[in-house]
A and B are shown apart, each in its own frame.
Chain A
């Protein structure tokens, strides 16, 4: 027994048999298969990368990440064998992927700083620009290079009166819109003009006001189709708004001269919109702090009548301080799944790829991952720990080949860091000291760029694409 153990335990300088395989989704899948070689067990990522560069005969050495049994190798092979109770005599199959280069933060001039804390960031649906909302009730439009492309209009009388707490973006009838939630009890829908990479000094003004009733709007999200908007209030109410109705109102508005849909947002008359329905039977109390409407699969089959009514599809996830995470079928005004978190939820994001809901909490510092498909458990599937402050914002990346086979998760925390997580690793891929000495409050993805905002008023762009770094 002890002999076996000693034989299994890799010694210092021991050689183990390893076989390098390109990850299946990687672009290098077509490369020639590599032979099984004996490598020292003490090797880590760097040593393995050297060997692999040598094997592949790369002209310029590239960093690689290695995946064993679906998990990133973050230790030496010997330690991995020990931790996973593997035998050192077996041939270890090591998948390799070209590792992401560390994100590069785009330098920005100081005049780009928001006057107040940045509360929320969202990418426009056309993925060319990012919009940030601030506590000074302003929106700001950023292009992919981190330059300010537009600001809130100074002349409109329909601007939010209080801080903007959350924003979301959606596309309807080919037009891009941004919706913002404000602490002045109303939410606003801003229409974006058609943007190019060079457009500058765009003036944003709200076209629709979603009128509330005395409670500040804490969360907002739009349906994937763009026809519905959901807002969450401090008193625990969730309301659904019909953007189609808003468009209809705008057409019949007296200020509108033309009967057709306005081509430019500037001509569009402003309308006040009452809410369509209020979701009932959900959260018991507390502010609705997070809403996310995705194309995720609903547990309930879409009924024909609702399809006929052209109601929004997809799932609406809502998180509240009352420690519940709900999945709604908005068409049926019903909670399809109820997950009980032991902690009040402050932010959430749903990934259709993994079908996981990532939540940040007000009490604890870890990110919890929930699988809404598992109906009979209230236990989170996974917990990502690493932040030293409570997590204020989480966001799943879009599915891009440049980011790897699966979406990544970006999180902002009160410790001022932005962390990027890969589900194959237990520790974050990258930790960005984005807002030193301040509080990170918002994070989102603009294609392969992580956009973050914090209490220092800055909106920072961290690009992960190796091409742009070159």
Chain B
């Protein structure tokens, strides 16, 4: 092995200079440089193989580490031999001992340094590509100093040329490192030329463009590659100086032992002289013609001359205009590019064989060799050699596996029975009667498709006239057979019903009749509970208005208005004792003096007195619509009946609604068209019609308990108006044709109950965008007359002409996520149905969970 001498050689030759490493690893380097870039990997692989083979071959090797190092070196040599490139070897050797190297000694200068630096840069590239083989090298710092800014292909060209032809100038450089710049010799120039010209021996046409110019690309490689085989490979063996062949016509021998001839000398002495004299006009290039070391004449191009000029004048060999430091091409920049990156620079490591992979492979190979690693036992083929081809069908029909559960076998035809035989037994043959019956029946109703017939022999059987039809039906059977088995969901219908709390858990709510408020002789149309819950007001068809004590049922006050009382309403102003009753077209303000506490009576009296005094002090706004409603003071007779004020309308007043402050009263005249709704202000004795157009048949109006909203229920819709902004806030549509009543939830008025004459009660949630009810409750048998919310308990009730009032739990959640919970609680019965009228009105006690119902039987009942 040549490892030891080469190592010493490298130590000696190389003092921080990498050029000497070339001689160390010459075979490998050469082989690699000789091969194309594509072949670099192959080389590495070959090296790997050699390495392994070396390791495996040396059975007596002790440690893996040692083996690795020795093997890599052995491998290098082996590889060189394996590649068997004698030309390279010889040329390298020739380089090593090139006579030109001695000449260089005399002329060391800056330009040479420069050149060397450039070379070093190139070597850095090349060496780093070979770093797999050079594990412990000293030149790593030099290598990384300069990164050549040229393409890889260009670099390789350079490397190859240099390796082939470069004279070894190192010793001289080492000896005179401080030689003055600015001085150059022909030899130096020639070296430079040779370094920069890869294919010196070849024809000039094959010389690639100046390698440092970036427009050199791989298209030039192919011819240079050819020239490798033809000219540049010097097979002369190592250690044979070229001057030995100076006097010979050949320069060495090839593998076959044939001479490699020197290039032909085309000119004789005379011609050379003439050329030197420049007599020939065409041939005055003598001055720029040099000879290479093989004796071939070489004509320097203009660029090369310029290069020489620059070197002579002490400038950079490279053209100054050429960009030594080209702009960095930011392949990977933050700027978005218009086009995708076609060929991004491949990283260097792509081309480097992995050392660790190599070691791993080595280990594996070794393990295989040593028998530690054995191939996996072949998987036993569990499939049977023979199949029961029918087995699959039976397994598919079995509904065991999940895959086969979806399999639906094609509908099978019934197998023919004895009756289908051409010669059936006698008992299968039909009687005449059966045949007649069969023929008379509709084809779809026939119990059999054919009549069994008896033939003496099979050949007497006629053709089946129904054959086409049967085949078609069979096709239909197959075609219309369901492809997918529909899985019926196993859902308990009970579980789909929402789980509602039990009514028992939702106590308290009215359950039983407690007190009957008697005295009316006609239908009680309307009731109202005073805000303190102490008194109950009722208006009846018998023309009377009565005030009952809630706790006992005693009628404390009765007033005969003479006409049917359509509506009654307490004034909700606290501390007063005043109520209104609408009979015919008049609204009566009644303040009974003998009921209610002394203070309340006094307050009511002063309220009415002040309102009468203020009457003239306010004038209606000028653009207001004319109002045909009169505030009338009662007559003596009426005043004796404790009527304090009257509101004379033009139409029959059907509904009353107080604002919660007790100053505004809304009245509805159902026939009033555009003047159906009027709002009266008690303190100023003023009336106005808030709507200028006819909204339709108005059923109810309500003031919102919290907001300045007015709820107007017509026959089909419920509209909510903002009175301050004078705009429509919401319109709720009912599914029915006739709304009978409407109620507002006390907490913010975000929920509206609407009762209709077609038995339904709709719960509307204003927070939902829909104008349809959130829930529709259809429990009553007849028309719903009234609906009511409780003030504080989560209760609401509806009463109907079927004589029942129904109580519901209606809980409203404030978190906006849950919808209202509605639970039917109780059906309250007891009222007698009179002339088809059951319960006309219902109202909750303001503080207790009690429900008052006004029946057509003339009683008002309290359910507790």
Residues of A participating in the B interface, judged by any CB pair closer than 8 Å: 116-117, 119, 135, 161-163, 183-186, 212-216, 234-235, 285-287, 289, 321, 342, 344, 346, 362-363, 389-390, 392, 414, 439, 441, 455
Contact = CB atoms under 8 A, between A and B. Distances in A.
A414 B556 contact: no
B563 to A, nearest CB: 28
Most chain B CB neighbours (cut-off 10 Å) among A119, A183, A214: A214
7 contacts: A161-B594, A286-B847, A287-B551, A342-B508, A346-B551, A439-B553, A455-B554
A117 B556 CA distance: 11
B514 A216 contact: no
Given A116-B554, A185-B598, A389-B514, 17 more contacts: A135-B556, A161-B594, A162-B595, A162-B597, A163-B549, A184-B597, A212-B597, A214-B597, A216-B597, A234-B532, A235-B532, A289-B551, A342-B508, A363-B864, A390-B514, A414-B515, A439-B552
Contacts of A186: 598
A455 B534 CA distance: 18
A363 B851 CA distance: 12
Contacts of B549: 163
Given A117-B554, A285-B847, A215 B514 contact: no
A430 B851 CA distance: 33
Contact of B594 (A162, A235, A342): A162
B599 interface: yes
Given A117-B554, A414-B515, A439-B553, A363 B597 contact: no
B597 A215 contact: yes
Interface residues of B, number: 22
Interface of B: 508, 514-515, 532, 534, 549, 551-554, 556, 575, 594-600, 847-848, 864
Contacts of A289: 551
A320 to B, nearest CB: 11
B554 A135 contact: yes
A217 to B, nearest CB: 9
A135 B532 CA distance: 20
Given A161-B598, A185-B598, A186-B598, A362 B552 contact: no
A213 B864 contact: no
Nearest to A185: B597
Nearest to A116: B554
A321 B599 contact: no
A430 B553 CA distance: 27
B552 A441 contact: yes
B599 A213 contact: yes
A344 B864 CA distance: 10
Given A162-B594, A363-B864, A117 B532 contact: no
Given A234-B532, A321-B848, A439-B553, A214 B599 contact: yes
Contacts of B508: 342, 363
A125 to B, nearest CB: 27
Contacts of A212: 597
A321 B597 contact: no
B595 A214 contact: no
A157 to B, nearest CB: 14
B507 to A, nearest CB: 8
Given A234-B532, A234-B534, A344 B848 contact: yes
B554 A362 contact: no
Given A162-B595, A215-B597, A321 B552 contact: no
A287 B530 CA distance: 14
A342 B507 CA distance: 10
Most chain A CB neighbours (cut-off 10 Å) among B551, B600, B847, B848: B551
B534 A216 contact: yes
A436 B595 CA distance: 28
A186 B601 CA distance: 14
A11 to B, nearest CB: 42
Contacts of B514: 362-363, 389-390, 414
B552 A117 contact: yes
Given A213-B599, A214-B575, A321 B847 contact: yes
Nearest 9 CB-CB pairings of A with B: A214-B599, A185-B597, A363-B864, A184-B598, A214-B597, A216-B597, A117-B554, A185-B598, A390-B514
A285 B792 CA distance: 13
Contacts of A287: 534, 551
